[in-house]
Amino acid sequence: MFIIQEDGTAKACECRSIRIAEDKLKASGVSEEFRKMRFENFDYSKSKETMLAYSKAKSYSKKFKELRVARQNSIIFCGQVGSGKTHLAMSIGNVLLDTGVGVIYMPYRSSITNLKQSITDEENYQREINIYKNAQVLMIDDLFKGRITESDINIIYEILDYRYFKSLPVIVTTEKSISDLLDIDEAIGSRLYEMSKNYLAEMVGDKLNYRMYK
């Protein structure tokens, strides 16, 4: 749905962004599980690192309205497998969706594969990548999981560089540290750090495998 503005131009209705976000969630295959992940059912009692990450996630979701127009408007969760990174990221996503903000979920491994497969069809590739580039909020889950190719780096750079210069927020989970991200690609790592340095949560340590110890 589009709204005709006073100057005669058409502007996409906010509800369209929400519908696109919800369609992307359903297409990812995690829609139902996504909507179940809330702050209320996250166990933050396991460690100091987990509690700090929970606190940052809650603060980010509460302050998002004022943060979204700032340069440091993003949040990144770095840490080991099963530490609860995705649960906290999705908890933020659900708060935003509940308040009418469109959140596009990008499961890194499957999304990057789909984008690479469509790269020979320029029109289709641009249509797909523009969804991630222009989302009100983009959630990248498990960034740089698995083997990383030059093509992977180029695609992620294209998305993040666009969002960086447009001041569009990202929510990122990754097993990589900021130092690792800088080693993979300095431009990607530095942009992510600048966008999220006020909300950088590192979840590392013994018995931080949320799925095993919850």
The string of pLDDT tens digits covering residues 119-166 is 999 999 999 999 999 999 999 999 999 999 999 999 999 999 999 999
- Beta partners for residue 82, in sequence order: none
What are the angstrom distances between the C-alpha of 194 and each of 40, 182, 186, 212? Answer: 29, 12, 12, 33
Task: List CB contacts of 25: < 8 A, sequence separation 6 or more.
Answer: 31, 34, 105
CA atoms of 74 and 3, how far apart (whole Å) = 29
pTM of the model: 0.84
Give the full edge-to-edge strand order of the sheet including 75-79.
103-107, 137-141, 170-174, 75-79, 200-203
Average pLDDT across the chain, whole number: 86
pLDDT single digits (tens) 76-130: 999 988 889 999 999 999 999 888 888 899 999 999 999 999 999 999 999 999 9
CA atoms of 138 and 160, how far apart (whole Å) = 10
pLDDT single digits (tens) 53-83: 999 999 999 999 999 888 899 999 999 888 8
7 pLDDT exceeds 60?
Answer: no
CA atoms of 78 and 61, how far apart (whole Å) = 18
First and final C-alpha spacing in the chain: 43
